[in-house]
């Protein structure tokens, strides 16, 4: 009897161990499946699919419940054949929702790969998704703090003065009580002191000079900076960060300011340029799953619904505030400077890729323009305009006949402008 | 005695000048500061970004009337619409009008670097700067990827690439507002080079 129970116990024990082991193993393989699936999902699927929201294609969460495994395998490998050749009703129902977009066929994905992807979709490993972002208190000294500090110091000063007076009076009282003679406080005529000062010619002269110096220097600095907007940093309707877009993301200046190379204006991008990326990028991870409030401003302006990915009729442009304003009396052409002159954007606009909020870097004064024109050497190589000029100079050197036509005197615009 | 006074006077003058300069240079970043003759800054003719009371919507930049075309821009909607048929038709019938020259290819490379590399990467493998940061999904590689509209990415013809740059596809937006047709054709030439990479 005892033997049997012992035997049974050992059997039960080994059974339990095996079950536990297999369970643990299967969990481990499952986790591995999902991890492998995550990698494939990221590289092959995210271009069109999100897990929890509609993108180019449908949201994929719960797809394992909506369709059978075999059907999903077939669909992923070649969905277009299922729609157009086999006329599979389930496939056509999906196509009707997303017409005319069809899904890329993935014949190169193995069954194992697809199983991994489906495992990942069924149970995405908890990534370090951040919860609602608590706006961190930035350690910046605001004007309010400085004001408060000054106020505290003033109050403390007044309190000290008052206390000083009170102790003085108390001391005198104590002394009086002790019967000590106190000389009466001599009241000084303060007015008389001032009157005496004002009669002092040296003093008046000196003060006058100081006042004149102050006024003149304030006036000079004021006039010097009149109309010079260096450092001007207006508040823009959207908190657009050049540091993030041009610095961290390394998006070329010209991607958005596409006019810089071909027109007078560098051009402020219209919202459709923003949407080239922001139809996908909503920075929701940083805002607890909600669209970032700044990106939401683009959507509002375009009357765009990120859930249905459709544009409404009530579009309103964003009113950006112009930072660089050259007076109308001066002509400036971006393409001329950037293409012909080969001037880098940063030469005039400063380190824009490090500016969280854009400010005017250069003074844009005439002196500033002229200085650069005086110092910059012209690269005349491969430039037809300079070739002609050099040819004309050669003619002069040789003493040949020079006509107005050589300098473009026969161009229509010389007379008919 | 006089020498000391002089020193004192120059010291005081220097201090006042410095103080005045510091005080008067403290300006508000949000304001442009003093301006003289503001009317010389504001153009008589309207700048595109200025408000304009002469138009009902208050903008100077108006949407052009339908079917108007800027010089140098095409209107592919008529011949090659943004539909699967338009795409296939563009693939068959649209050919690059530019000759394959070194200059065109160089220009195409520069334009590609400025307009495309942030997603597609310098060599077209789909590993651009914002893809590496995992901010945007990776596009398929030009040389080894599969096109969502059938065939390998390395088989895409002139017209198909042009159609894709013009209208965009899937996550890629339309780029016909940023690039003239000539610029697009130059990029097409360079993309053909990237398709040959292994």
- Annotated domain spans of chain B: 81-195
- For chain A, the farthest-separated pair of C-alpha atoms sits apart, in whole angstroms, at 132
Select the residue of A55, A214, A275 nearest B173 (Cβ to Cβ).
A275
Query: Which among B169, B67, B181 has a CA at the least distance from the CA of A276?
Result: B169
Per the DSSP assignment, residues forming a β-bridge with A310 are: A305
pTM: 0.68
User: DSSP E strands: which ranges in A198-314?
Assistant: 304-305, 310-311
Could you tell me the pLDDT band of residue A21, with boundaries at 50, 70 and 90?
A: low
In chain B, the residue whose alpha carbon lies closest to the alpha carbon of A47 is B137
Look up residue A119 and give its two tokens. 């495992």
Could you tell me the pLDDT band of residue A2, with boundaries at 50, 70 and 90?
A: low
Per the DSSP assignment, residues forming a β-bridge with B146 are: B152
Handedness of CA B18, B24, B25, B26 (dihedral sign): positive
Mean pLDDT, residues A170-190 taken together: 73
From chain A residues 218-237, the ones with a CB under 8 A of any chain B CB are: 218, 221-222, 225-229, 231-235
Q: Residue B3: what pLDDT?
A: 60
Could you tell me the pLDDT band of residue A26, with boundaries at 50, 70 and 90?
A: low
Asked if B135's CB is within 8 angstroms of A232's CB, the reply is no
ipTM for this model: 0.81
Query: Which among B69, B123, B68, B74 has a CA at the least distance from the CA of B94?
Result: B74
Put residue B71 in one of left, alpha, beta given phi > 0 → left and psi -120 to 50 → alpha: beta
Q: Residue A138: what pLDDT?
A: 44
CA distance A9 to chain B (A): 54
DSSP annotation of B184 reads: H
For A130-154, what is each residue's pLDDT tens digit? 444 444 444 455 667 777 888 888 9
Q: Residue A133: what pLDDT?
A: 43
Query: Which helix (H) or strand (E) is A118 found in, with range?
Result: helix A111-122
In chain A, the residue whose alpha carbon lies closest to the alpha carbon of B5 is A206
Q: Residue B159: what pLDDT?
A: 87
C-alpha–C-alpha distance, residues B167 and B55, integer Å: 30
Q: Which CATH class for the A20-122 domain?
A: mainly alpha
DSSP annotation of A353 reads: G
In chain B, the residue whose alpha carbon lies closest to the alpha carbon of A244 is B130
| 3-state DSSP assignment of residue A104 | coil
Q: Residue A371: what pLDDT?
A: 93
Could you tell me the pLDDT band of residue A9, with boundaries at 50, 70 and 90?
A: low
From chain B residues 14-43, the ones with a CB under 8 A of any chain A CB are: 16-17, 19-21, 23-25, 27, 29-36, 40-43
Q: Residue A132: what pLDDT?
A: 44
Task: Answer with the residue of higher pLDDT: B66 or A9.
Answer: B66
Look up residue A313 and give its two tokens. 């009729």
For A359-411, what is each residue's pLDDT tens digit? 999 988 889 999 999 998 888 887 888 888 888 888 889 988 888 887 778 88
Contact A355, A270 (CB under 8 A): no
CB of A128 within 8 Å of a chain B CB? The answer is: no
C-alpha–C-alpha distance, residues A349 and A308, integer Å: 39
C-alpha–C-alpha distance, residues A32 and A53, integer Å: 25
C-alpha–C-alpha distance, residues A11 and B162, integer Å: 71
Please give the mean pLDDT across all residues of chain A: 80
Look up residue A258 and give its two tokens. 């596409």
Q: Residue A134: what pLDDT?
A: 44
Contact B158, B188 (CB under 8 A): yes
Task: Answer with the residue of higher pLDDT: A306 or A183.
Answer: A306
CA distance A113 to chain B (A): 16
CB of A207 within 8 Å of a chain B CB? The answer is: no
From chain A residues 389-408, the ones with a CB under 8 A of any chain B CB are: none
**Strongest mean pLDDT among A10-19, A67-76, A292-301, B150-159:** A292-301
**Chain A to chain B Cβ contacts (< 8 Å):** 153
- Annotated domain spans of chain A: 20-122, 145-186, 187-226, 242-375, 385-411
CB of B151 within 8 Å of a chain A CB? The answer is: no
pLDDT over 70 (residue A351): yes
Asked if A56's CB is within 8 angstroms of B150's CB, the reply is no
Contact B108, B96 (CB under 8 A): no
Query: Which among A255, A260, A413 has a CA at the least distance from the CA of A343?
Result: A260
CATH topology of domain B81-195: Cytochrome Bc1 Complex; Chain D, domain 2 (1.10.760)
């Amino acid at each position: 009897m005892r033997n049997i129970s012992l035997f049974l116990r050992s059997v039960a024990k080994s059974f339990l161990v095996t079950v536990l082991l297999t369970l643990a193993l299967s969990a481990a393989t499952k986790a591995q499946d999902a991890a492998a699936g995550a990698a494939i999902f990221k590289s092959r699927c995210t271009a069109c699919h999100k897990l929890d929201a509609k993108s180019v294609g449908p949201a994929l969460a719960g797809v394992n419940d909506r369709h059978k495994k075999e059907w999903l395998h077939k669909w992923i490998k070649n969905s277009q054949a299922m729609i157009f050749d086999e006329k599979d009703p389930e496939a056509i129902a999906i196509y009707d929702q997303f017409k005319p977009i069809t899904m890329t066929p993935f014949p190169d994905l193995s069954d194992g790969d697809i199983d991994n992807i489906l495992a990942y979709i069924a149970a995405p490993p908890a990534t370090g998704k951040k919860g609602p972002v608590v706006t961190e208190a930035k350690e910046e000294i605001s004007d309010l703090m400085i004001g408060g500090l000054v106020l505290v110091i003033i109050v403390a000063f007044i309190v000290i003065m008052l206390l000083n007076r009170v102790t003085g009076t108390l001391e005198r009282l104590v002394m009086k009580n002790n019967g000590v003679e106190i000389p009466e406080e001599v009241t000084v005529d303060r007015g008389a002191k001032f009157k005496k000062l004002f009669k002092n010619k040296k003093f008046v002269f000196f003060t006058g000079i100081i006042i004149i110096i102050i006024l003149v220097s304030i006036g000079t600095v004021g006039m010097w900076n009149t109309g010079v907007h260096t450092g001007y940093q207006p508040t823009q309707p959207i908190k657009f960060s050049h540091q993030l877009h041009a610095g961290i993301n390394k998006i070329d200046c010209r991607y958005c300011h596409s006019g810089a190379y071909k027109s007078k204006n560098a051009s402020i991008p219209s919202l459709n340029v923003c949407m080239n990326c922001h139809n996908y990028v909503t920075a929701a991870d940083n805002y607890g799953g909600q669209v970032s409030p700044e990106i939401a401003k683009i959507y509002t302006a375009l009357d765009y619904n990120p859930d249905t990915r459709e544009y409404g009729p009530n579009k309103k442009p964003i009113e950006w505030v112009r930072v660089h304003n050259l007076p109308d009396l001066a002509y400036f052409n971006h393409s001329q400077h950037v293409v012909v002159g080969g001037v880098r954007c940063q030469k005039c606009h400063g380190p824009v890729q490090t500016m969280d909020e854009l400010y005017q870097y250069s003074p844009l004064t005439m002196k500033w323009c002229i200085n650069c024109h005086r110092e910059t050497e012209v690269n005349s190589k491969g430039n037809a305009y300079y070739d002609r000029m050099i040819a004309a100079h050669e003619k002069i050197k040789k003493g040949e006949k020079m006509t107005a036509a050589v300098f473009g005197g026969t161009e229509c615009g010389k007379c008919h402008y | 005695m006089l020498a000391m006074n002089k020193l004192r006077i120059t010291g005081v003058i220097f201090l006042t000048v410095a103080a005045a300069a510091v005080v008067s240079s403290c300006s508000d970043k949000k304001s442009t500061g003093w301006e003289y003759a503001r009317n010389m800054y504001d153009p008589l003719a309207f700048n595109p970004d200025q408000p304009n009371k002469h138009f009902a919507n208050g903008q100077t930049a108006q949407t052009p009337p339908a079917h108007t075309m800027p010089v140098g821009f095409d209107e592919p909607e008529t011949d090659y619409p943004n539909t699967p048929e338009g795409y296939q038709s563009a693939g068959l019938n649209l050919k690059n009008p530019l000759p394959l020259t070194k200059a065109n290819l160089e220009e195409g490379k520069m334009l590609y670097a400025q307009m495309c590399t942030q997603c597609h990467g310098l060599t077209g493998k789909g590993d651009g700067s914002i893809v590496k940061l995992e901010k945007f999904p990776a596009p398929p590689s030009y040389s080894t990827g599969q096109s969502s509209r059938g065939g390998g990415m390395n088989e895409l013809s002139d017209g198909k690439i042009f159609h894709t740059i013009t209208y965009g596809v899937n996550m890629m937006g339309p780029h016909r507002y940023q690039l003239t047709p000539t610029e697009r054709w130059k990029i097409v030439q360079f993309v053909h080079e990237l398709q040959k990479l292994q």
